[in-house]
Amino acid sequence: MKLKPVLFLIIIFTFTLLAHPGKTCAQTASLSFEPNTITAIGNEDVVITVYLDTNSTETNTITVDIDYDPKILEVTELDTQNSVFESSAEEDFGNGNILLTRFMSPGNLFKGKGELLKVKFRILQETASTVRFGDKTLVLDTSANSLDLSSGTLSINDEVGNVTDIVIDKDNSYLIILAVVFVVVILLVAYLLSRKRKGQFAQQG
Angle at alpha carbon of residue 30, lines to 107 and 128, rounded to 5°: 135
CATH class, 25-164 region: mainly beta
Provide the whole-model pTM. 0.66
| pLDDT the model gives residue 191 | 75
3-state helix, strand, coil in the chain (%, to 5): 25, 40, 35
Give dist(CA 50, CA 102) in Å, integer.
13
Which residues of the chain fall short of a pLDDT of 50? 1-25, 163-172
| pLDDT the model gives residue 138 | 96
pLDDT (tens digit, 9 = 90+) per residue, 13-27?
Answer: 333 333 444 333 468
| pLDDT the model gives residue 17 | 37
Structural domain spans, the chain:
25-164
